[in-house]
Amino acid sequence: MSLQVTSQQVSSNGGRKLEVIVAGDEGSARLDRVLAQRTPELSRSRLKALILAGSVTVKDAVVRDPAYHVASGDTIIIDVPEAAPAEPKGEDIALDIVFEDDDIIVIDKPRGLVVHPAAGHATGTLVNALIAHCGNSLSGIGGVKRPGIVHRLDKDTTGLMVVAKNDHAHQSLTAQFADHGRTGPMERGYMAFAWGVPNRPHGTIDAPIDRHPHAREKMAVRQGGREAITHFEVLSSFAGRDGKPVASLLACQLETGRTHQIRVHLAHLGHPLMGDSVYGAHFKTKAGQLGAEGKHALTALDRQALHAYLLALEHPRTGELLRWESPLPEDLLLLERALAAAV
């Protein structure tokens, strides 16, 4: 293929905006394969990251699926941001520190904070804040972009996270997270506001999780996926305007730690998280069953209603059992009160 980039210009983010027009013999080919041929200066992994990050448009529409099939004559625009530094820099970002010693630091993560640098989030992450706070003491096992990180919370999930400050702590915590309390003391508990009420007061969702077959930024329950187990208990239920149950507050505990696990499992159960625009979008009309206060609180929430309230682990050096609990943040307290008000 001799034809490559059709044109390029400076992008608003300081990078480059590349334009590719699909040639006749490329029609019906996969998007990632066409771009790999036409932009050899960008690696396949870089192209995939740009597609998943929403930096590629086809016919003026964002396409996030690398397997999307283009048509002859389609115009593809790739927004390539300016290269970010190889190593993240420390930034003065306030942290809610629950516990800290020479080995670990436990924080109560707020909504909106991305854990580590990635496509679209090169700065302003938890890692940037930790580098500023801890200096060079963070574990290097996670790599330069994820120093000390042994587990993650989604950007808009709030709650407790532990970070390793040295390699010994990192190895111990990684082993504990891999075990997830099967033989050790680790516990990870979440408060989840879900649509509807499960038909039993407590239960276990044992369903494997893998990448969604079509929407690659999502996860899904799939045969052959990685083992995923979530335990839940119904703490309370909330009635709608008609007096019938419309939502519930669940306590969830993880026995495995897959990406988006609780969000995927509750949606699979038929009770997606309130406010979850990815896995519960088809439940938006349910908001019409809420009272005025409930509608307002849900709109103001503008995120999935999930909070990591419990974290228990064995201290990596002393062996002491440590346990922390985090109360519901203000936005979820407002939602709980509004749901309880019913009308």
What are the residue numbers of the active site?
154
Q: Which helix (H) or strand (E) holds 133?
A: helix 126-134
CA distance 60 to 57: 5
Tokens (6 digits) for 2: 């001799």
Phi, psi of 322, rounded to the nearest 5 degrees: -115, 140
The tokens for 121 are: 């989030």
Q: Give just the sign of the alpha carbon dihedral 97, 304, 259, 185.
A: positive
Is residue 230 within 8 A of residue 181, CB to CB? The reply is no
- Whether residue 113 contacts residue 128, with contact meaning beta carbons closer than 8 Å, is answered with no
Q: How far is CA 56 from CA 6, 45, 337, in A?
A: 15, 14, 42
Pairing outcome for strands 219-221 and 209-211: antiparallel
| Distance in angstroms (rounded) separating the CA atoms of residues 74 and 79 | 16
Separation between Cα atoms, residue 145 and residue 32, nearest integer Å: 25
Q: Tokens 């190593």 sit at which residue?
A: 87
Phi-psi label, residue 70: left if phi above 0, alpha if psi -120 to 50, beta otherwise = beta
Partners of 21 in the β-ladder:
75
Q: Give me the torsion for CA of 222, 111, 303, 208, rounded to 10°.
A: 10
